[in-house]
Amino acid sequence: MFSLAFGVATKNSHGDWLEVYYPRPLINPDQAFVSMISSVLGYSQGNRVIEVNDEMTVKLSEIAEMEYLAVLRESVKPIVATLLEKDSSPKTVPEAYLKLHLLSHRLVHPNEVNLEGLFGVLPNVAWTDIGAIDPEELDLVQLNARINGRIVEVSSVDKFPKMTNYVVPSGVRIAHSARVRLGAYLGEGTTVMHEGFVNFNAGAMGPNMVEGRISQGVTIGSGTDIGGSASTAGTLSGGGNTLITIGQECLISANAGTGIPLGDRCTIEAGLYITPGTLVQVMDERKKNIAVVKARDLAGHSDMLFLRNSQTGVVECRSNKKAIELNKMLHTNK
């Protein structure tokens, strides 16, 4: 068994899934435990989504490690059990949400689970202060609220909710919760400032300072700082198939960015964006030209300092003498 979880779900008026909240998802659970669960649910094999009835909930709540299910017995919303025998592409909304939860619960790292076809599975949802609503049903909900003297606050209309409505990982600070999507991975000690953004299936291993954008598929190593308005090229919307990883103790300075992977202790100066085709003049220790290469030829190397010569405009790569060091006080997020 790859993963299993019990959650509280939301459906629209037609009975279609909108979202699922899984408080305690499991990865690679013990087979004896899976057998106990399966006997109650009538599960045999494969990837399955099972709506849990009252009788099942009572029996499950009596099983060791499942006591929290007793709380769900009073739920007015559907209770769902999602069992994934294999890590195949998600076919249903509950399967997709389980995989996003696994990422944000730090049970898997970005790019470790199969998310192929995710956008086609997830419905567009109006995220409101009273929960998830089908956009086609929103006007009636708003009208009923107005009649009763209140306003439904719509924070976004999107396929992905904000992570903090589902998972709040330990030891993190998030200044603006709407800028971190469910499915983001935030390691211990990570700080995401007001303009920082972390997409699904992307993340910071922690501790990290994130003041710029970590795009889908991108991971940054511990001690790395993504400066204000800096960005990383993801694999969505024409971003290509190369997964961008940034190593430890790197600095992507304000308004800078990278479209190539970087090793450890690399720095890109403020305002400079390195694309795979950027021509880079490689310098030796005495700042003499060694060669002119495309940036993709430097991908994954460590101890690089990228800057633009203020006199010639040429992009240069020099040896990075000193790695950055994050302020430990800022990243002890207790």
pLDDT tens by residue, 9-19? 999 999 999 99
Sequence-separated (6 or more) residues with CB below 8 Å from residue 20: 7, 8, 9, 10, 80, 82, 93, 94, 97, 98
CATH code assigned at 75: 3.30.70.2010
Residues 303 and 248 in one domain: yes
Whether the predicted pLDDT of 238 surpasses 70: no
CATH code assigned at 132: 3.30.60.70
Give the chain's domain count.
Answer: 3
| Residues spanned by the domain of 64 | 3-121
| pLDDT bracket for residue 24 (50, 70, 90) | very high
Determine the pLDDT at residue 58: 84
Residues with a catalytic annotation lie at 211
Determine the pLDDT at residue 289: 73
Residues 178 and 325 in one domain: yes
- Considering the chain, what is the average pLDDT of its residues? 92
Average pLDDT, integer, range 318-324 = 75
Closest by Cα among 186, 183, 188, 213 to 201:
183
pLDDT tens by residue, 31-61? 999 999 999 999 999 999 999 998 898 888 8
Determine the pLDDT at residue 329: 52
The residue count of the chain comes to 334
Average pLDDT, integer, range 202-225 = 97
Residues 95 and 141 in one domain: no
Q: How far apart are CA 107 and CA 127, in angstroms?
A: 26
Query: Is the separation of the CB atoms in 281 and 292 below 8 Å?
Result: yes
Percent of the chain whose pLDDT exceeds 70: 93
Residues 106 and 130 in one domain: no
Residues 99 and 231 in one domain: no
Residues 233 and 306 in one domain: yes
Determine the pLDDT at residue 276: 94
Average pLDDT, integer, range 299-319 = 94
Quote the pTM value.
0.93
Average pLDDT, integer, range 141-149 = 97
| pLDDT bracket for residue 68 (50, 70, 90) | confident
Residues 81 and 19 in one domain: yes
Taking residue 258's Cβ as centre, other Cβ atoms within 10 Å add up to 27
Determine the pLDDT at residue 290: 80
Determine the pLDDT at residue 95: 98
- The last residue of one of the domains, among 70, 105, 121, is 121
Average pLDDT, integer, range 276-296 = 87
Whether the predicted pLDDT of 331 surpasses 80: no
